[in-house]
């Protein structure tokens, strides 16, 4: 029976959020803490000749100064290539070189300015195409010596990831095509720009030689693993206590401020060290979306069936691989979109450059490839004279279709998402622009997204003496409503009201293991673990009730927090354990683990089962825009956005993700762009790196598609990650509809629009 699942329950973290009571990473102060600051590299590539910290050491308030020589460890989840502080050489502008802890933040910053570092500049490679050149400077000449995962590298080059994939006979596929198109698309770097900047507090206990970190992160166990692997210490020597997270979007999941606070804490004699980056540091020297250049070649028949597709994708990890390897490989694998494609081939390369490190960003590579795939789908439709919606529907996946690795796909809500967004935007109806210098157009784009597979989640559920239910899961609340949705699942799985459920914050000392809060996997994976543990604890509660109340367990039930006998409530759970002497006390706990590993749903062609996803998410956005042909400015009028969530545990929380995704997509497509040259980012402020604000927001209609999923908790899949990817190509496609121009490289700026309009006019004039 479900009582809260499917309802827009008020978020359980909401009261703390609207009153300002929620404690984020930046809000935390630990007694006796010092404050850190960072001396950063001014060069994209240089050898460190000498570091003279004498003046800084003598400055007021300074307690600790650390360099890479003092803390010479390397970290990295895919390739262990990144130092906590630069060792011998710097590889990007803004790379941390020296860390300083002082009594106040101002004293630490002032001392940082006094450190003298002498550099010998080295040739730098700041463009990903240049990084492929045979004589390109090597960012990591010793790449082949690093500890790394199973991915393929090309030693003595800048290529840190190489992956190829082929299915069918791609040349035969192209030979059978009536039309072959080939285009190159570029997706740019973007800041995660979480409003809460990177921040952490680290303490080192010299007695136990153990670290404690207080931090906002979405990957507690993975960050712990990165740290223990880097330092060569066991898991009990690192404890992570996770605060409320003031936005992550894939950005707060590795050692960023943490690398600095940990290095400083190691030498701070037990005093905690707090490190908070300024907005300028946050924008220019933490992590960005991985930029990509994507060549996509597609063959189609005259009537609009895709016969073959081949792609070459080049990704830029920046100076260190961080978590980009998965982004490049998993992201690229979805460049063919949610379309049946009999023959295909793919070559993926990722290179090091002397630029700030890049990494996972909401969508994990799908925002980049969806830009390429969905722009080209419209270009093909235009070339064939087909309706872009009909062309997509003709080729789109349906329930039971095989994916490109031959996994049979279930829970495919693609068609419904296309049809409902098209209906909502008024597809095929022409809206007149309100003034002669304005043009209106409509566009649609869709996408599919796998979730990280296989991964696992654990849940421990505990019933307290007053009947309250504590759900221990390592699923930090990053803003997407995780805690509420998981509480809803727990409430219904156990048979208690949601008000009785508490989901405490993550503390790796007590919370069981979970994969990351990423990849839109939380509701499904953690939810499944909670459903299993919930069923077990329900049985234990009923057995205890039978014992305490001296009844027949077989006739008891737990409904909405009441013990019920043959349908008649006999005792509230909140009173069941009360009044018992200590000797009769009950401690009721249950635990469960869910893993997608080995699920029959993942069966696919060997050796490509790793490309299977335990569930597939589909999202379609349809946009109406207005373009000013005198200024080139694009205004988004309306977006209808559908997400196939399987089943909405909390429809309001799903709407939040869909609406927020569209806002992010608009911001990414029209406003956000790093400026600078030679590997340096010059626009390190919100005045110069513009984010969408309220006046930029159109009418957004969120559409929830519920395709259901058999292995899911109450049918629910995921929602957050696919929510932003389809908006930029939907806008680009609407721009083509409005004025007949194509922008292939993001972002869509007024300058590019004006230039394209002028080029089109001159080409037509010449023709």
Partner 1 sequence: MRLTATVNGRARTFEVEARSTLLEVIRESLLLTGAKEACGVGECGNCMVLLDGEPTPSCLVLAPDAEGREIVTVEGLAPEGALDEVQAAFLEAGAFQCGFCTPGMVITAGALLRDQPNAAAGEIKQALAGVLCRCGSYTKVMKAMEKLAGRGA
Contact positions vs partner 1 (CB under 8 A): 8, 10-11, 13-24, 26-27, 29, 192-197, 244-247, 249, 278-279, 478-481, 652-653, 655-656, 659-664, 667, 685-687, 691-695, 697, 700, 702
Of the pair 272, 661, the CB lying nearest partner 1 is at: 661
Of the pair 289, 349, the CB lying nearest partner 1 is at: 289
- The backbone torsions φ and ψ at residue 183, rounded to the nearest 5 degrees and listed phi first, read -140, 160
Query: Measuring CA to CA, which residue among 352, 407, 288, 324 is closest to residue 157?
Result: 352
Minimal distance in Å, beta carbon 5 to partner 1? 17
Minimal distance in Å, beta carbon 641 to partner 1? 10
Which tokens in the block code for residue 399? 């329930």
Helix segments in 133-277, DSSP class H: 170-175, 220-231, 257-266
Minimal distance in Å, beta carbon 389 to partner 1? 25
Of the pair 434, 579, the CB lying nearest partner 1 is at: 434
Annotate 335-389 with three-state secondary structure: CCCCECCCEEEEEEEEEECCCCCEECCCCCCHHHHHHHHHHHHHHHHHHHCCCHH
- The backbone torsions φ and ψ at residue 112, rounded to the nearest 5 degrees and listed phi first, read -60, -35
- Cα 698 to Cα 67, 240, 638: the distances in Å are 49, 40, 5
Of the pair 8, 595, the CB lying nearest partner 1 is at: 8
Q: Kindly tell me the burial class for residue 210, based on how many C-beta atoms sit within 10 Å of its own C-beta (0-12, 13-18, 19 or more).
A: middle
Minimal distance in Å, beta carbon 94 to partner 1? 18
Minimal distance in Å, beta carbon 193 to partner 1? 5
Of the pair 304, 481, the CB lying nearest partner 1 is at: 481
Minimal distance in Å, beta carbon 716 to partner 1? 18
Of the pair 37, 373, the CB lying nearest partner 1 is at: 37
Query: Cα separation of 728 and 747, whole Å?
Result: 9
Query: Cα separation of 184 and 371, whole Å?
Result: 11
Of the pair 8, 708, the CB lying nearest partner 1 is at: 8
Question: Using an 8 Å Cβ cutoff, are 61 and 241 in contact?
Answer: no
Neighbours of 141 (CB within 10 A): 12
Of the pair 326, 516, the CB lying nearest partner 1 is at: 516
| Interaxial angle between packed helices 414-425 and 388-395, expressed in degrees from 0 to 180 and rounded to the nearest 10 | 170
Minimal distance in Å, beta carbon 14 to partner 1? 5
Minimal distance in Å, beta carbon 13 to partner 1? 7
Minimal distance in Å, beta carbon 194 to partner 1? 6
Three-state secondary structure call for residue 391? helix
Of the pair 79, 243, the CB lying nearest partner 1 is at: 243
At a CB cut-off of 8 Å and minimum separation 6, what does 306 contact? 298, 299, 300, 339, 340, 341, 342, 395
- The backbone torsions φ and ψ at residue 50, rounded to the nearest 5 degrees and listed phi first, read -160, 155
Minimal distance in Å, beta carbon 697 to partner 1? 5
Of the pair 549, 652, the CB lying nearest partner 1 is at: 652
Query: Cα separation of 194 and 734, whole Å?
Result: 29
Query: Cα separation of 180 and 334, whole Å?
Result: 20
């Amino acid at each position: 029976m479900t009582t809260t699942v499917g309802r827009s329950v008020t978020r359980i973290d909401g009261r703390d959020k609207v009153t300002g009571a929620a404690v984020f990473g930046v809000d935390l102060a630990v007694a006796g803490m010092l404050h850190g600051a960072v001396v950063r590299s001014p060069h994209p590539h240089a050898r460190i000749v000498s570091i003279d910290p004498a003046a800084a050491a003598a400055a007021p308030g300074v307690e600790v100064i650390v360099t890479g020589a003092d803390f010479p460890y390397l970290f990295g989840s895919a390739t262990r290539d990144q130092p906590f502080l630069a060792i011998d050489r710097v590889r990007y502008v803004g790379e941390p070189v020296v860390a300083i802890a002082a009594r106040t933040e101002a004293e630490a910053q002032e001392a940082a300015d006094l450190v003298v570092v002498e550099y010998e500049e080295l040739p730098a490679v700041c463009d990903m195409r240049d990084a492929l050149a045979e004589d390109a400077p090597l960012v990591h000449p010793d790449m082949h010596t690093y500890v790394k995962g199973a991915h393929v590298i090309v030693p003595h080059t800048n290529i840190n990831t190489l992956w190829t994939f082929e299915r069918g006979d791609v040349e035969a596929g192209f030979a059978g095509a009536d039309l072959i198109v080939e285009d190159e698309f570029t997706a740019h770097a973007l800041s995660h720009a979480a409003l809460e900047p990177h921040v952490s507090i680290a303490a080192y206990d010299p007695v136990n030689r153990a670290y404690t970190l207080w931090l906002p992160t979405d990957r507690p166990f993975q960050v712990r693993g990165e740290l223990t692997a880097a330092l060569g210490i066991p898991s009990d020597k690192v404890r992570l206590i996770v605060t409320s997270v003031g936005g992550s979007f894939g950005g707060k999941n590795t050692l960023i401020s943490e690398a600095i606070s940990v290095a400083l804490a190691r030498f701070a004699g037990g005093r905690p060290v707090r490190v908070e980056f300024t907005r300028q540091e946050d924008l220019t020297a933490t992590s960005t979306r991985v930029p990509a250049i994507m060549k996509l070649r597609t063959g189609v028949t005259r009537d609009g069936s895709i016969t073959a597709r081949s792609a070459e994708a080049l990704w830029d990890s920046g100076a260190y691989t961080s978590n980009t390897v998965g982004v490049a490989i998993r992201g690229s694998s979805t460049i063919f979109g949610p379309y049946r494609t009999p023959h295909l081939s793919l070559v993926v390369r990722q290179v090091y450059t002397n630029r700030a490190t890049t990494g996972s960003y909401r969508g994990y590579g799908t925002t980049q490839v969806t830009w390429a795939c969905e722009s080209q789908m419209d270009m093909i439709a235009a070339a064939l004279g087909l309706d872009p919606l009909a062309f997509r529907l003709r080729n789109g996946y349906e329930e039971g279709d095989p994916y490109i690795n031959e996994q049979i796909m279930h829970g495919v809500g693609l068609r419904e998402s296309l049809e409902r967004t098209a209906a909502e935007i008024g597809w095929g109806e022409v809206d007149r622009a309100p003034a002669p210098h304005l043009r209106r157009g409509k566009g649609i784009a869709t996408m599919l997204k796998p979730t990280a597979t296989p991964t696992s989640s654990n849940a421990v559920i505990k019933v307290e003496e007053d009947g309250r239910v504590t759900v221990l899961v390592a699923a930090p609340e990053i803003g997407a409503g995780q805690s509420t949705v998981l509480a809803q699942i727990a409430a219904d799985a156990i048979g208690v009201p949601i008000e009785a459920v508490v989901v405490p914050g993550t503390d790796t000392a007590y919370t069981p293991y979970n994969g990351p809060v990423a990849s839109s996997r939380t509701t499904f994976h953690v939810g499944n673990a909670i459903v299993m543990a919930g069923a077990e604890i329900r049985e234990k509660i009923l057995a205890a009730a039978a014992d305490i109340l001296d009844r027949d367990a077989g006739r008891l039930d737990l409904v909405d927090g009441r013990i019920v006998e043959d349908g008649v409530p006999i005792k509230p759970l909140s009173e069941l354990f009360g009044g018992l002497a200590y000797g009769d006390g009950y401690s009721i706990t249950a635990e469960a683990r869910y893993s997608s590993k080995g699920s029959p749903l993942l069966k696919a062609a060997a050796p490509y089962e790793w490309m299977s996803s335990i569930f597939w998410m589909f999202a379609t956005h349809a946009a109406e825009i207005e373009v000013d042909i005198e200024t080139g400015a694009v205004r988004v009028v309306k977006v209808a956005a559908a997400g196939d969530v399987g089943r909405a545990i909390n429809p309001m929380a799903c709407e939040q993700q869909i609406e927020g995704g569209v806002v992010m997509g608009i911001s990414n497509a029209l406003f956000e762009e790093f400026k600078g040259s030679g590997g340096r980012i010059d626009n390190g402020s919100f005045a110069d790196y513009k984010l969408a604000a309220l006046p930029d927001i159109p009418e957004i209609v969120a559409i929830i598609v519920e395709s259901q999923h058999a292995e899911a908790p109450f049918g629910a899949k995921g929602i957050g990650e696919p929510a932003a990817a389809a908006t930029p190509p939907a806008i680009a496609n609407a721009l083509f509809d409005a004025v007949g121009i194509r922008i292939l490289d993001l972002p869509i700026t007024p300058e590019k629009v004006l230039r394209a309009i002028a080029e089109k006019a001159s080409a037509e004039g010449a023709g």
